Amino acid sequence: MSGLTEADLKMLAGARSFERGRGYLDAVSGVEVGDGWVTASVHGTERYEVELSLDGPGGLSGECDCPYGLEGNFCKHLVALGLTVLARAESLPRQRKAARGRAAGLDGWLSALSKDELLALVREQVGEDRQLRRRLELRAASARGDLSAVRARIRELLDIGPFARHGYVEYADARAYADQAGHAVSAIGALTGSGRAADGITLAREAMKLLAQAVECVDDSDGWLGQVGAGLADAHLDACRAARPDPEELARWLIGHALGELDDGLTDIDPLDYEDVLGAAGMAVLRKLAVEAWQANRRGWAEKYLMERLAKAGGDVDAVIAVHAADLAPNGHTHLVIARELDTARRPGEALHWAERGVREARDLAAVDTALVDHLCERYAQTDRPADAVALRRDHFGARRTLLTYQQLRAAARGADCWPAEREGALALLRADAEQRQQGRYGSPVLVDALLDDKDVDTAWQAATQTGAHDRQWLALADHARATRPADALGVYLRLAEPLTEQTGNAVYEQLVSLLLSIRDCHRLLGSPEEFIEYVTALRTAQKRKRNLLRLMDAHHL
């Protein structure tokens, strides 16, 4: 505990969550200190249970059942508990020592009890705690192999009835339902542990179906049922490893599950996890069934994904390529996936062929996957083919005509030492677009943006004057030209400031003040500061009711 600081909490949570956590100090209640851990409740949107591990293997860590915490983040509620712990730092060592003493005392007392005394104690607790009684009843039925009793109890555990209102479990009750459903996982594990693994397989599959039905009627926004589903998947795998079921039957079930035929929706089972259970014969059946399913539905997402996983696991690059090649996207993205697979397999010639084919077969070069174009240009650069890179960038720019494709063409052409000629052709296209009022990004001619990006301010100003420009572009032009064309820039700033004087809001005031600073700079360059003073004085008089604006102007000495 001596090493815990606010800096530790801020590092784990981040500045935003740390600051928000400060506001929850009064919401922390029920602090309980153990040996190395501290728990509490923090009242936010809901009441959340939080736990800090003070000196675990990885140092300070924490868990919270709020949505953000469930994603593995160190949330504001944990920050609030951490700050509470720091505020009680002097008493913490004493509380930890007391916790160790209580634990040792309890363990010693239980160890000294006779069997009859322990049984009496357990029976007393079972009589007082209904949930404990149900858990122990289920474990008892599992231990004695009473399959019908376990099956009936699992059905009860997965029944939404006790938690549902009008047939639906609301968000506020979903956690409690998931906690109850989680006991089904423990029951199946107990069956496997008691030598009834084959029954465990059967009940795990039945529970998956019941959970799939239940999830349709539960607000599982926080993913609690997903955790139950993952537990059932693990319990099924453990049972299979213990029981060693028929490999062919297991392979068929896994294929059905992977392709969604079982409609469980929550248990993300990877058939490859069962390789040790299936053995060579079972894996052969699994691959055969996967191929048949894929051949019957080559565009099915589940079929493609399963085939790809099996092919990669077997190191069969050609099979992976065949899966992707059966359903090529018109924008070339699938060609890129294939090219990357071949690159990884150290088959660069074939990879380059697929990438070039993707561009060649694209129905619309304007809609081609830009990552494919980038990938191909990188390969051209690596293989000393700068002219091909320029040609591809030229074609891509001609199809899209954006500032980005212009910049990419410029970079490729400079690398090939041919930018002046390429620039002339590219600007001709943009000039024709501007003259025809074909709008680019931001609803304004790309020509002005391209010229500004080239630092050709005078030509950009001329183009804006002749073909028009967006206010955003005029502002950029004025900023770039202010030092050499202060009178022209001043006209732009005054025009842009005028409509802002009719609007309200802090964001508007910040824009207006920024323009006023530029206007002042122009008057300074023009040697007319008195004109600026007159302008600002009149503006302040007209805007006197806008107190936030005047405060902002005062802060900038306007």
pLDDT per position in the chain (558 positions), as tens? 446 788 888 888 888 899 999 999 989 998 888 877 889 999 877 889 999 887 766 678 888 888 888 777 899 999 999 999 888 878 877 887 888 888 888 889 989 989 999 999 888 888 888 777 777 877 777 777 678 888 888 898 899 988 888 889 998 888 888 888 888 898 888 888 888 899 999 999 999 999 988 988 999 887 888 889 989 999 999 999 999 999 999 999 999 888 876 555 677 788 999 999 999 999 999 999 999 989 888 888 888 888 888 888 888 899 889 989 988 999 999 999 999 999 999 999 999 999 999 999 987 889 999 999 999 999 999 999 999 999 999 999 999 999 999 999 999 999 999 999 999 999 999 998 888 864 444 456 899 999 999 999 999 999 999 888 899 999 999 999 999 999 999 999 999 999 999 999 999 999 999 999 999 999 999 999 999 999 999 999 999 999 999 999 999 998
| 545, part of any domain | yes
| 51, part of any domain | yes
| 128, part of any domain | no
| 546, part of any domain | yes
60, 92, 112: which is the final residue of a domain? 112
Number of domains within the chain: 2
pLDDT of residue 56: 66
Residue 50 phi/psi, 5° resolution? Answer: -125, 150
112, 128, 157: which is the final residue of a domain? 112
| 129, part of any domain | no
Specify burial of residue 502 (Cβ count, 10 A radius: 0-12, 13-18, 19+): exposed
pLDDT of residue 437: 65
b/e burial code for range 299-324 (CB count within 10 A of at least 16 → b): ebeebbebbbbbbeeeeebebbbbbb
Q: Is the pTM of this model over 0.75?
A: no
| 236, part of any domain | no
Residue 207 phi/psi, 5° resolution? Answer: -65, -35
61, 96, 112: which is the final residue of a domain? 112
3 state DSSP class of 557 = coil
* Parent domain of 48: 6-112
| 231, part of any domain | no
| 178, part of any domain | no
pLDDT of residue 104: 85
| Partners of 38 in the β-ladder | 33, 52
pLDDT of residue 140: 78
